[in-house]
């Protein structure tokens, strides 16, 4: 009798899908790594070997689609006309070892693994080949400094190429010996887009493709991870001002007491704040304080500064952030920031970009890092209008 009832229930579930158990929303998987840089990379490569092979194949397909050339030939030319490896080994040797370990663990060629880390630098390479050909209006970032009523928090919609969908991963490093703990939001086979450590430092970024770049500076993802390797907020701020930058980028750094924002280019690092109090920062993808601009982007930059050009994607999203967050009467809460990152106020240029396989880019993940006494990391699997934020806590106290 019991077997008959179970069989009838199963038939009902198959015939009436509405009666089935609700499907759980996807969450970003957490990959916990430990040991030296090489050991972390080896673990990453080994544990995500299948995913890395898949996303690298899709990456090469996108290179062929963009250039019409053999992707291996493009990658070889890209690496041979630059010298990023030297800067990586000088300023972040542990991360170079992580790349080497990832290549061994995943079975991928070291040149492919290195080139995959150089997303922003590859855009610069394409722009050098054909001036003005790269339009990467990606990512919206927000930072709110601590007050008596709330801690510091910084957030970002990580907008990136569509082929990365399904390969979201949150890296987690924790060492009992050193007391160091980090969370890094990334893609399989990549060392990191944004993150936070337990030393009171978090960082999010925005591409600034109008700024001058260099073929021998420190690439963006290594600057980002280098910031998170620092043992104090002051060391992190000193690091970003000291290293030579390969690519134009906005770095929004959160500490336990403040938010600090820099527009970095090959020749200078310039602070930028949209409000005089420096208690609120928001940014998109056009430089506002740094005028170290590529020669072929000078006219564009001047129009942007004067506000005379037709509104671009980046300008439109920037105005959305300013309107939603910049009013003096607005109480700046984490929920307000999340709501802003979910927004689609403009039909063509929304802050939140839902996944569309036919589109070029989408919101890969939305992240919110809360500092202070109860630090946490919140991430979404894809666009935040379609996925909830999942919180992750820190477990280690930093060793003084």
Q: Burial, 320: exposed, middle or buried (Cβ in 10 Å; 0-12, 13-18, 19+)?
A: buried
3-class state of residue 166 by DSSP: coil
Rounded Cα–Cα distance for residues 120 and 142 (Å)? 20
Q: Which of 169, 144, 163 is nearest to 340 (CA)?
A: 144
Residue range 185-194, pLDDT digits in tens: 999 999 999 9
pTM of structure: 0.93
What are the residue ranges of helices labelled H in 35-186? 37-47, 49-67, 71-80, 84-91, 93-106, 110-117, 119-129
Residues 255 and 233: beta-carbon distance below 8 Å: yes
Q: Which domains does the chain have, with CATH numbers?
A: 135-393 (3.60.60.10)
> What's residue 400's pLDDT?
61
Cβ atoms of residues 133 and 209 within 8 Å: no
Rg of the chain in Å (alpha carbons): 22
Q: What's the confidence (pLDDT) of residue 134?
A: 64
Give which of 374, 383, 238, 209 is closest to 301, Cα–Cα. 209
How much is the pLDDT for 272? Answer: 98
Closest CA to 384 of 155, 231, 92, 227: 155
Q: What is the pLDDT along the chain (400 residues), one digit of tens a residue?
A: 445 544 444 444 344 444 444 566 789 999 999 999 999 999 999 999 999 999 999 999 999 999 999 999 999 999 999 999 999 999 999 999 999 999 999 999 999 999 999 999 999 999 998 876 666 678 999 999 999 999 999 999 999 999 999 999 999 999 888 888 999 999 999 999 999 999 999 999 999 999 999 999 999 999 999 999 999 999 999 999 999 999 999 999 999 999 999 999 999 999 999 999 999 999 999 999 999 999 999 988 988 888 777 789 999 999 999 999 987 667 899 999 999 999 999 999 999 999 999 999 999 999 999 999 999 999 999 999 999 999 999 998 776 6
């Amino acid at each position: 009798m019991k077997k008959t009832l179970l069989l009838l229930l199963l038939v009902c579930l198959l015939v009436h899908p509405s009666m089935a158990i609700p499907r759980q929303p996807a969450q970003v998987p957490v990959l916990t790594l430990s040991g030296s840089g090489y050991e972390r990379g080896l673990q990453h490569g080994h544990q995500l070997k299948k995913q890395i092979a898949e996303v690298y194949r899709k990456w090469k397909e996108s290179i062929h689609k963009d250039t019409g050339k053999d992707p291996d030939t493009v990658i070889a030319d890209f690496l041979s006309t630059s010298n990023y490896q030297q800067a990586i080994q000088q300023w972040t040797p542990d991360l170079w070892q992580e790349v080497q370990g990832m290549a061994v663990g995943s079975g991928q060629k070291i040149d492919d693994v290195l080139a995959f880390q150089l997303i922003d630098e590859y855009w610069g390479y394409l722009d050098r080949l054909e001036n003005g050909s790269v339009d990467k209006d990606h990512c919206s970032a927000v930072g709110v400094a601590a007050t008596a009523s709330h801690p510091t928090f910084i957030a970002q919609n990580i907008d990136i190429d569509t082929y990365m969908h399904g390969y979201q991963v949150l890296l987690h490093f924790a060492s009992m010996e050193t007391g160091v703990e980090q969370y890094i939001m990334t893609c399989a086979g990549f060392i990191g887009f944004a993150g936070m450590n337990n030393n009171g430092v978090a960082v999010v970024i925005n591409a600034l493709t109008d700024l001058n770049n260099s073929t021998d500076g420190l690439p963006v993802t290594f600057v980002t991870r280098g910031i998170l390797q620092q043992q104090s907020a002051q060391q992190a701020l000193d690091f970003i001002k000291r290293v030579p930058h390969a690519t134009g980028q906005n770095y929004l750094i959160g500490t336990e007491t403040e938010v600090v924002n820099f527009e970095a280019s090959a020749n200078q690092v310039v602070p930028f704040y949209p409000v005089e109090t420096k208690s609120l920062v928001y940014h998109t993808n056009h430089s506002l304080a740094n005028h170290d601009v590529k020669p072929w982007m000078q006219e564009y930059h001047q129009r942007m500064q004067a506000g005379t050009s037709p509104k671009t994607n980046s300008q439109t999203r920037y105005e959305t952030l300013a309107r939603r967050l910049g009013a003096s009467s607005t109480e700046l809460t984490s929920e307000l920031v999340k709501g802003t990152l979910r927004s689609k106020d403009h039909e063509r240029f929304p802050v939140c970009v839902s996944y569309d396989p036919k589109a070029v880019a989408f919101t890969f993940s939305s992240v919110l890092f809360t500092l202070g006494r109860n630090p946490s990391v919140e991430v979404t699997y894809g666009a935040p209008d379609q996925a909830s934020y999942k919180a992750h806590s820190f477990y280690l106290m930093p060793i003084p």
